[in-house]
Every structure is written in C-alpha cells, then in structure tokens.
Chain A
C-alpha cells in the first residue's frame, strides 16, 4: 500500500451550464496510488476552494459502486478502463506515473449536461414510472412462501435487477439506446411469477416511454454490456424484444 505517488496530467471537462460552451481544463497533480479517482478530485477541489475558485462539479454518493450516482468518462471509457467497476471504485494505482488522463461527462442526447461532469439522467426515472412495477397494494400480499419461485428464475431475475441506473450503457452506445437499462427491468419482472400478469403491458409502456424520452434503437454492438459496471447481460435485451413482439401480436388479437 506504500507505493510511490503518481504524477499525472489531467484534462477535465469544465462547463458552467447546459447552455455554456465547455472546454478541457488541465490540472497537474501528484496523487497517492491508494486514492480513488473521486478522492483525487476531492483533493483538487479542496485546493480550488482554498484558492477561491469554483470546484469541479461531479456526482457521487455511496462510493461503494451501488447507488449509481457517480460516473463519467475516463480516457474514453465509461467509468474508466476496468471491467465491472463503477467510477468510485477506480483507484489511481491502475494508472501509470506520468500518464495523461481525460475526464469528461457521459454524453448522450437524452442526458443533457448540467455542469462539468454532471448530467441529467432524469429520463431514466420517467421510464421507470411508466410501468416498471407490479400493480400491487400494500397489505394484500399472501404469505411469502405461497408464491414459489424456481431458484434459477430468482437468480436470473436478480442478475437483471442489479442494474444501478448509472447511465453508462446509454453513453457507451453509438445510438444512445437505453435498451439494456429497460431490458434489465422488464426481464427482472418477466422472469418471476409475480410479474406475469402485466408482462405485456409493462414492456409496451416502458418501450414507449423510452422512445418518447429520445433514446435511440439497438444495433447490437454490445458496447452497453462491455461498459456496464454490474455486467448486466444483453440477453435481457433479447428477452425484452421477444416479449415486445409477442405483445404487439397479442394486442392486435385483442383489438380485432
């Protein structure tokens, strides 16, 4: 844990507001290899505040990789170069002394920049509010073991449900598609017996909300899975597409 400090040249995206023009600002820093990348930014910000300058705006909360608040682009990669790692878990020992590092916000049309490295991901909440739930009032549940769930289904459902809503999948996608995010939520419920009744309505509503929010379509590059800090599988997109297509035929039958 007592390796030499690293000397780094950082180029960090600064943008005062959504409308303002942004640019990279250079910072030369010496940092402990044990620091996380966010702790490095904390130190820079402390220095900036001391000098009476405006600190770099970035979001973070749990710093354990689970809340999904943090996330920016490090040298062109969402959440940095390590697989299955959120930005807050990226430690500076993964960089070399003398390296130049570029930090910029996740860029996607549905995620407008708010300030510096902070983007507006509220479109994700709108998609969730459109139908990502089981319609069920508190108090009317049967005994928990009255609903048997095969272990394989519960495990697969949890694999999908681990999504932290960080937005990396969207920013990684050339089409700014939210198919992995939506697919993960659709699959979590579709895999469980509790989710069956509203399965087809749910997928239609969520896909419609996704389209309305301006997210693009999927062209199977799988960049989303590669950049996902939780390693959510693109199989969830395929499962969602299957349900979506079935739901279309099904609706027509009902209508005719």
Chain B
C-alpha cells in the first residue's frame, strides 16, 4: 500500500497557504544554481514553472515533443481565465471562487488545494498584465470581464476567443528571457519515455530525440511533469493530435498513484463526427446555448430535413426535462441527454447529432443580432461543415474535452514518488469530478508561477537529493527498457494500423466509459479493452526505423499506454458506485434522473497503485469538508 499523506497544513482555511509559505524551508539564493530541475511539457504549467524557477536561479531543462515550446495545447483554450479580483464590484471574493469551484467539482476535491487556487488567482492576472498579455479592456483602460458557466459573478478575463494563446505566449516569453539569461535550456522534439528513480527518488528522465531516434538520458534533483490530460484516450476529442498520457502513465508504472481516472469532462457543444476519416473534434463556445435551442425529432430514425419536421414533431428535450435551466443546464447534464436521445435513434437522421437551432433568436434579435454575438462561431461552423447555420440549424454532439483525473499529488504538488512533481491538467488536484469553464488556465498558471517555485525549494532543502550523473545502473537499465520497448513495437507486423486500433479503443470508451456508465457496460469494457490490448501486441503493424523521424512509432507508443489507461478508467468507474460530476452511473440517479452522489461511502480520492498491467490496488484519501456544506446539485 502507498502512504497517501496530503500534507495539508493545519490552521484556518484562509491562513493555510500563508502560514505554510513561512514554515517551508527556502534555498539560499547562491545555492539555487546548484540544483538541476527537469520540466516535461511546455504548456501553461510547464512554461510558467520553468520561467519562474529560472528567475529564482535554478538550472532548468525543459523538454517538449513539439518543434517549438509555443505549440503546447494550452494555446487552443478559447474562453478565458477566472480570478477573484471583484473588479466588477459584484460581490466576488476568494471564498466565492473557491466555493464555486468546489461545488462545480461536485465536492470531490481537496478543500485546501482548491482554496489556494482561488487565493493565487489574482496574482496570475497581475503577472500576465505585467508580462504584456493584451487582455480585453474597457474604454477607461481597465480590464474587461465576462461571465461564464457555473458562476453568478463576472470574473473571467479574456483576450477575444484566444485567451489560451495569449497566456501561453506570455509564459513562453518569460521562459525565453530565462533562456537568454542561461537559466533555462529548452530541448524541443524530445519525447519523454521514462522516469529514472535513484534510491526511490525521481532523479532523471529518458527521452527520445524525435528527429534521429537517439535515446538520451538527463539527470536532475527533481522532475516536474506538466504534460496535460488524457482525453485522446477516446481517439476523438477536442485535444490536439499529439496530446497523450505517456509521461504520466509511465510514471504511474514506476509507482506514482493515478487518482480518479474516471473523472472526464465531455463538452456538449462540439461539431459532430462527419465520417470515418475524422481526426479530431472541434469545440464551439458553449455560449451558443444562451440563444440556441436544442432539439431532436420525436420519431426515431427520422431522415427528413429539419424544415420538414414541424414544431409539434420536435422534442426540445432539455427544456422539457429541465424547465428552470432549459438549454443552460451544466455541461455534464447537456451531454448526457444528447447521448440518450441519440441512443434512442432520435438524433439527426437517426445518427449521433442533435440540432442547435437559432430560429427563435433570429425572430427575436434578427440575424444581424445573432451575428454580432456569435458571428465568428457561425463562420467557423460554416468553414468546417460547409453548411450555412443562418439557413439550416447547426448540428452538435458532445466530445471529450478535459480530464479531471491525473497523477495523485499532495499539497506540495508532489506525487507519492519523492522528487516527482505534477502540475496542471496532468495532476488530479483542484477540480474534483467536474471542472468549471475558465478554470483550466487558472490552475496551470497557479501551479507554475505561484506554487511549485515555493514547494520545490522546501523539497530540495529537506531531502537534499544528491547530484547524480547519467552513468549509474538505474539510468542504464531504464535506457535499455525503453530501447527494448521500441524494438518490441517495431517488430509488430500484423494487419491493423495503430490508428485503427486506437479508434476501436475510443469507440469502446466513449460508449461505455463516456457520458453515462453502467455496471454491465463497464464490465464489458474492461474485458474488451484487455482483448484489444492483446490484439495490439499481436496484430498491430508498424513501419519505419528506430533511428529516424518515425511518426508511426511515436503514435504506437502512445496508443500502447492508452490501452492500459483505458482499462483503469473503466475499473475506477466500476468501483465508484455513485454519480458525481463527469462520472454518471446509471444505477445511481435520483427518480428525477439526476446524479446521485453518495457522500457517506465515496467522499474520497481513489488513488490507484500499479501492480502489473491490468492489475491495480486501490488506495483511498478521505476528503474532509470543514468549510463548505455538501449540497446536492439540482437544475430543475
């Protein structure tokens, strides 16, 4: 069994972080340059951590599989970033942001971590403005805000629909400054393939140079993983093509506990799948649900065009089932219900899409009014689908978007492996069972700019990890294991391509470990994934060489990891006999069809310990709520 110590400091919630910062040991400025730190990933969390640690004087090495650190998938975030500034004078506060986040997460996150996130949110905005991030402004020159789902105040800062891009380029610029100053070194086109433990402490990494296939070894006194989420396990998701689980999965196989893998977020307003060849799903802002009405035909297998389906033949199912919130129910509720009507064969043309219809809005505010509010989204829809949404109702379908689960970390953001820290979407920390909009950017930057720079110093002073080279037996063994795995993959000469197997995995997961889960489905999924994994290792077909740029090999390694993670997601979902946030178990719904949380039995973090492929041991970290009352969510 793993010992899960959350290390949450004593004291009042609002004082914990402040007091803890004082209690932590600090590294003398002159000594910082003696420490080497490795950062894997250059998104918001990785870049902000690298920049800040460089400023402090640590020697930082950053690895990314991209050709440039600016391409990390944080760049695609659209909507904005929350902060409790209360600039709108609408009674916002750190406590309100904390409360909204913990309630939005359906009371499945740690109070102290979530509170700290809200607490440092304001520093993030200050930092980004000083860096030159061109946030939206009012005419008086102050920062503009907008509102976002799950909150009653206007606290979201934004830069058009490109907030992620601007925040990432801000962190990238700070990191570049440290490159110039010689504190940060960036290694692009390197894929992390394993962590190296020396005396059970994280002391190095094995990476593959993607241009020439060289296996490279690097040592450090601490390793940080900031490698994002695992939505691509579903094959089709809103994640970038190369987003993957390999870093956190291989660390998991070395002993790092994986927490709440079944907590995944499926976003309701994405473009539907158009065909077999589709490579990814595109998200459209959920603000569309403010004016669009969602409906399907009352009849199954209705292939008529939408204008031929009369008003009384349509089922505005969200308005019917949830009269109070209607089309504005939270993401998980909207997604689940779209699945249900499509399962009944009532999706568009009997397929997997529902209509998002603006006809009423056209009557109410005119097409120009709609254009003012949503013009760019309508253009995007037309560009991708070739259909003019001003003439024919949009079609939408939910898509995997974000994963709340990830590697277990304590209050210091350190995993149960000493010296291995995990930041951003890669950890499980702050969002519980569901993440609210505009909170992902906040968490990535909070972890990188304002938490890890403090907690890593405490670790370095307390543990004083030795400086090791890369010649030790641990490095040689890890290198050999990585090379063996590559050879094993390249020797596969079956009939199915890696993508074909990945698509089959995605179909199992979206069907049985997606928006709605049942015991029967999960048991089947576990069996099917095991079989598919065996099939992969017998029947996959790889091409190309190890010592060359080999895109097939890169994908194969990632898919092999997804095939193991997918099973754990199902195992976790099967064990969690309750419904909460993004995890909805059909056996646990109220008579009204709502999620039934079971706080008495399941108010804990499920941290899975790897024993062997397909075999895990469950460890529980109880969640204690001292500052909020556990309430049921209702949107009727």
Contacts and interface: CB of A to CB of B under 8 A. Distances in A.
A218 interface: no
Given A89-B383, A138-B55, A145-B143, A59 B67 contact: yes
Interface in B446-490: 449-450, 453
Interface in A30-63: 31-36, 38-40, 42-43, 45-46, 48-50, 52-55, 57, 59-63
Contact of A93 (B172, B386, B453, B552): B386
Interface in A116-142: 118, 120-122, 124-125, 128-142
B518 interface: no
A34 B138 CA distance: 40
B134 A158 contact: yes
Nearest to A82: B383
A68 B168 CA distance: 13
Contacts of A36: 279
B592 interface: no
A11 interface: no
Nearest to B448: A138
B145 to A, nearest CB: 11
Contacts of B22: none
A85 B383 contact: yes
B129 interface: yes
Q: Which of B73, B162, B542, B543 has the most CB of A within 10 A?
A: B543
Classify chain A's interface size.
Answer: 35 or more
Contacts, number: 217
A151 B497 CA distance: 52
Contacts of B173: 128, 132-134
Interface stretch (A72-80, A97-105, A187-195, A220-228): A187-195
Contacts of A155: 134, 137
A141 B132 contact: no
Contact of B165 (A66, A121, A137): A66
A161 interface: yes
A243 to B, nearest CB: 15
B179 interface: yes
A248 B193 CA distance: 48
A91 B386 contact: yes
B543 A144 contact: no
A34 B142 contact: no
B241 interface: yes
A62 B76 contact: yes
Contacts of B134: 149, 154-155, 157-158, 161, 188, 192
Nearest to A148: B141
B24 interface: no
Given A34-B274, A68-B71, A132 B549 contact: no
Contact of B126 (A1, A45, A141, A165): A141
Contacts of A115: 549
A67 interface: yes
A146 B313 CA distance: 57
B384 to A, nearest CB: 7
Given A61-B71, A63-B280, A188-B134, 4 more contacts: A32-B275, A52-B493, A89-B383, A143-B126
Interface of B: 48, 51-52, 55, 66-71, 73, 75-76, 85, 87, 123, 125-132, 134-143, 159-160, 162, 165-166, 169, 172-174, 176-177, 179-180, 186, 188, 211, 240-242, 274-275, 277-280, 282, 383-387, 449-450, 453, 493, 495, 497-500, 541-544, 549, 551-552
3 closest A-B pairs by beta carbon, nearest first, are A148-B141, A141-B126, A141-B130
